[in-house]
């Protein structure tokens, strides 16, 4: 499918004809659709959607960070997860390019602190020819002063402990044996390897023994599913996570959560159990009726005329 749409765009740009919509290609499109049906019949049509991270696993990730005794690695992981979740960033894109100046702590009109992205970037949905009001996302990560896991507080701590010699946001954490809480710098003068931020979620899943192995994109799926479940309008969700099409929201929001799957399973079992109980009650009533009739017959036989 991807190759087909790529060819469509190429020929529209170079030759000004559409291999999908133009009537001259109707026969080839029919053959293509028949081939797709045959592939589905053979079991090759399954699409592996990104599974949203469960509520229990999110709580496990948050609790892996100890606010009273933070260490460089767990602090970096929780800050990375908070940014990915609250600002609904794309899975791997541009993570290695983020710097200390990419995000900033600001204060809104009500005096509440929040973290937002202040440096624009080019990604899959935002190219050089974008409109001026387009942006990769308008999400905000607000403070929670009452919580020891306040995302703004952990972000500020993380920034304060980064190595001043590097501008990149994701730096290599110092080893535990070479680390002290009193140190001003907790991170080395070395950026994380190129692919490390892109596989953070997989590493966290294995390290914390989560219910399954997640990818970075699963964080995005969890955030969008949560906003949709809370009945936020699609246009507002699109502005937060930077997509230009509502169909992208539906791809995340149409999947049933694990909680709903359990509810549906239990609900579908209830009628079967109810029918079984009714059958047992009917059989019991019939047995009781037979016993009553026998007792009445014996009583009539014993009664003197």
**Cα–chain-centroid distance for residue 15?**
40
- Output the pLDDT for position 41: 79
In 268-292, which positions are buried (b, 16+ CB within 10 angstroms) versus exposed (e)? eeeeeeeeeeeeeeeeeeeeeeeee
Distance, CA of 198 to CA of 170 (rounded, Å): 11
Could you give all domains of the chain from N- to C-terminal order, each with its CATH number?
2-41 (no CATH), 55-253 (1.10.443.10)
Distance, CA of 186 to CA of 174 (rounded, Å): 6
CA quadruple 95, 100, 101, 103: dihedral sign: positive
Distance, CA of 98 to CA of 279 (rounded, Å): 66
Distance, CA of 49 to CA of 53 (rounded, Å): 12
Distance, CA of 21 to CA of 301 (rounded, Å): 91
Most confident of 92-96, 184-188, 262-266: 184-188
List, edge to edge, every strand of the sheet that includes 141-142: 103-107, 113-117, 141-142
Distance, CA of 98 to CA of 81 (rounded, Å): 14
Q: Comparing C-alpha atoms, which of 70, 37, 277, 36 is closest to residue 181?
A: 70
pLDDT band at 238 (very low <50, low <70, confident <90, very high): low
Distance, CA of 234 to CA of 241 (rounded, Å): 11
Q: How far is CA 185 from CA 72, 115, 182, in A?
A: 10, 22, 9
Distance, CA of 99 to CA of 79 (rounded, Å): 14
- Output the pLDDT for position 103: 92
Using DSSP's 3-state secondary structure scheme, residue 188 falls into strand
pLDDT digits (tens, 9 = 90+) for 16-53: 888 888 888 888 888 888 888 887 777 776 555 678 88
Q: What angle do CA 88, 163, 73 make, to 5 degrees?
A: 55
Distance, CA of 117 to CA of 45 (rounded, Å): 38
- Output the pLDDT for position 132: 47
Q: What angle do CA 5, 11, 14 make, to 5 degrees?
A: 140
pLDDT digits (tens, 9 = 90+) for 148-162: 899 999 999 999 999
In 233-246, which positions are buried (b, 16+ CB within 10 angstroms) versus exposed (e)? ebeebbbbbbbeee
Considering the entire predicted model, what is its pTM? Answer: 0.65
Strand-pairing partners, residue 142, are: 114
């Amino acid at each position: 499918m991807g190759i087909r749409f790529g060819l469509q765009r190429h020929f529209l740009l170079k030759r000004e004809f559409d291999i999908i919509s133009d009537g001259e290609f109707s026969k080839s499109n029919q053959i293509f659709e028949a081939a797709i049906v045959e592939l589905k019949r053979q079991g090759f049509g399954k699409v592996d959607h990104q599974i949203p991270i469960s509520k229990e696993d999110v709580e496990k990730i948050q609790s892996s960070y100890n606010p009273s005794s933070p260490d460089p690695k767990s602090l970096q992981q929780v800050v990375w997860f908070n940014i990915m979740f609250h600002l609904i960033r794309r899975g791997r894109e541009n993570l290695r390019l983020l710097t200390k100046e990419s995000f900033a702590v600001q204060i809104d009109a009500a005096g509440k602190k929040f973290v937002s992205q202040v440096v624009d970037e080019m990604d899959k949905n935002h190219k050089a020819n974008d409109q001026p009001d387009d942006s990769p996302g308008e999400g905000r990560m607000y403070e929670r002063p009452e919580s020891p896991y306040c995302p703004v507080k952990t972000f500020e701590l993380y920034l304060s402990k980064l190595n001043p010699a590097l501008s990149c946001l994701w730096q290599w954490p110092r080893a535990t044996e070479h680390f002290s809480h009193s140190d001003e710098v907790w991170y080395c003068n070395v950026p994380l390897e190129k692919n490390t931020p892109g596989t953070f979620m997989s590493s966290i899943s294995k390290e914390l023994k989560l219910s399954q192995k997640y990818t970075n994109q699963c964080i995005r799926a969890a955030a969008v599913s949560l906003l949709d479940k809370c009945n936020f309008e699609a246009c507002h969700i699109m502005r937060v996570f930077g997509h230009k099409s509502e169909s992208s929201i539906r791809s995340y929001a149409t999947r049933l959560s694990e909680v709903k799957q359990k509810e549906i399973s239990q609900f579908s079992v209830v009628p079967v159990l109810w029918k079984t109980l009714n059958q047992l009650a009917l059989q019991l009533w019939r047995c009781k009726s037979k016993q009553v009739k026998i007792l009445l017959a014996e009583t009539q036989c014993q009664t003197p005329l």
